[in-house]
Amino acid sequence: MCTTCGCGSDEVRIEKTPVPDDQAHAHYHHLHHDESGAHGRIVSLEQDVLAKNQLFAERNRGWLEGRGVLAVNMMSSPGAGKTTILERTIREWGGSIPISVLEGDQATSADADRIRAAGASAVQINTGTGCHLDAHMVAHGIERLKPPRDSVLMIENVGNLVCPALFDLGERARVVVASVTEGDDKPLKYPHMFRVADLLLINKIDLLPYVQFDMERCKALAREVNPRLEILPLSGQTGDGMQDWYRWLASGRFAPAPGH
């Protein structure tokens, strides 16, 4: 039985924290999470799943806030540049405050490996067929990662602009990353993600000369669904605009605490 939450044992797949010389041999163990019967077919079942998630989320939030850990949930479609932005953030801004990272992907520990190479500790959560992180998985991830007091915990969600928006993880801030190669209409087509976010990072601005992307249209559409949304264009690759992101992180300009 799981000591964190009393769950049975094997479905949330969390990478064991690798010992320094053993990163290539990271093992996985399977912890049960009880969402498997709820694939959203029945609304009441979905509500049940979300209610259970909320309990874990509030517990995570209490734990994190009690230790002064600023948790940021990074969401985007696959490949928008979450890991690239995190790598640069760790290298350029990680000197001012400790950063640790929970990495969510269906498979592989590739992103956690990239984060470690950038100099931060990371734990990979593999969701298997699942398409989002939930608060239960994050509880186990935190248990293994042990983010230090007064630090930043970045949670890179599974690449998906849809259901990650539904699952509160106990984070303090939600960031959606959209890249210019995806088109300027994403806020119109996936409004819920933009509605729940505190900040929109528009990434890959170095590619603006080569793609059809109307920056002002994208900003206007995003603000239509979420008038309080802050928007920062940047490039994780060239570093352009990253200082504004660091300022945002340092300023605590996001929602004061619970309840998204």
Ligand X SMILES: Nc1nc2c(ncn2[C@@H]2O[C@H](COP(=O)(O)OP(=O)(O)OP(=O)(O)O)[C@@H](O)[C@H]2O)c(=O)[nH]1
Q: Which residues bind ligand X (CB under 6 A)?
A: 76, 78-84, 111, 159, 203-204, 206-207, 235-237
Contact 173, 256 (CB under 8 A): no
Could you tell me the smallest distance in angstroms from the CB atom of residue 210 to ligand X? 9
The residues in 4-43 that bind Zn ion, with binding defined as CB under 5 A, are: 5, 7
Binding of Mg ion by 11 (CB under 5 A): no
Binding of Mg ion by 83 (CB under 5 A): yes
Q: CB-wise, 76 or 126, nearer to ligand X?
A: 76
Q: Among the candidate windows 54-62, 113-121, 158-166, 220-228, which touches Zn ion by CB under 5 A?
A: 158-166
- In the chain, at which residue ranges do the beta strands (DSSP E only) sit? 12-15, 28-31, 70-76, 99-105, 121-126, 152-156, 173-179, 199-203, 230-233
> Is 257 strand, coil or helix?
coil
Could you tell me the smallest distance in angstroms from the CB atom of residue 252 to ligand X? 25
Torsion of CA 256, 258, 259, 260, to 10 degrees: 60
Cβ atoms within 10 Å, residue 228: 10
Could you tell me the smallest distance in angstroms from the CB atom of residue 238 to ligand X? 7
> Is 212 strand, coil or helix?
coil
Contacts of 10 (CB under 8 A, 6+ apart): 29, 30, 31, 32
Binding of Mg ion by 184 (CB under 5 A): no
Residues that bind Zn ion (rule: CB under 5 A) add up to a total of 6
Interacting residue with Zn ion among 88, 132, 172, 186 (CB under 5 A): 132
Q: Residue 235 has what DSSP assignment?
A: -
Q: Among the candidate windows 59-67, 111-119, 125-133, 220-228, which touches Mg ion by CB under 5 A?
A: 111-119
CA-CA distance, 191 to 24, in Å (whole number)?
Answer: 39
**Binding site partner of 79, from ligand X, Mg ion, Zn ion, none, Cβ cut-off 5-8 A by kind:** ligand X
CA-CA distance, 145 to 100, in Å (whole number)?
Answer: 8
Q: Among the candidate windows 160-168, 186-194, 200-208, 209-217, which touches Zn ion by CB under 5 A?
A: 160-168
Q: Contact residues for Mg ion (CB under 5 A)? A: 82-83, 111
